[in-house]
Amino acid sequence: DIFVTYVSRRTSFFRTLLVSQFFGVCLLVAIAIAVGDLPGASAGQLLALAALAPVAVTAYVGFYRALELGPIAIVSPIVSANGVVVVVLALLVLGESLSAGQAVGCVLVLGCIILAALEPRAVIEEAGAGTGVRLAIVAAAAFGGYLFGLAIFSEELGWLVPILLTRTVAVAILATVE
């Protein structure tokens, strides 16, 4: 987060995002080549993963732009709340349940994230960080959806294939926008 903030504020968030995602895909390709034993995805899975890529783009664009605009001490904790979205989606979509202890843990984590991100409205407005905070909330929601989707696909395909495919499509989307 610190490095992205530093670079984004000196160049542009979009260029920083595109370059970091491109090199991330290169690293994932190197890992895929080294592993060599990757499960094949069906056509339906490929289409679904390609459809998940715009969610990743939304998450990363929102996050990088929020880091460029807002204070990292506020933006980063808000974006880290994406786990709440994953839990809520698991409860609603998959019908999973939480034990009382797990529910208390989730509430405590969310409460701590909120406390870490709390800043008096006057401080946020004075810093011109209102847009950054709003983008951080959008990024948190998008990351939650993206990570939930990756978790669904990773059950059948492992962790590498879903990330590699969605990131590759995301880089293609970003490159066409630039």
Q: What is the pLDDT of residues 77-136, one digit of tens each?
A: 889 889 889 999 999 999 999 999 999 988 888 888 777 666 656 555 555 556 788 899
Which tokens belong to 89? 């989606």
How large a percentage of the chain has pLDDT more than 70? 90
Q: At 6, which helix (H) or strand (E)?
A: helix 2-10
For residue range 127-161, list pLDDT tens digits in order.
555 678 889 989 999 999 999 999 999 999 999 99
Under the banding of pLDDT at 50, 70 and 90, the label for residue 5 is confident
With beta carbons less than 8 A apart as the criterion, state whether 78 and 113 touch: yes
Q: Are 152 and 33 in contact (CB under 8 A)?
A: no
Neighbour-count burial of 76, counting CB atoms closer than 10 A to its CB (0-12 exposed, 13-18 middle, 19+ buried): buried
**Mean pLDDT of all residues belonging to the chain:** 87
d(CA 67, CA 78): 11
> Are residues 24 and 173 in contact, defined by beta-carbon separation less than 8 angstroms?
no
| pTM as predicted | 0.85
Taking the C-alpha atoms of residue 166 and residue 148, their distance in angstroms, rounded to an integer, is 13
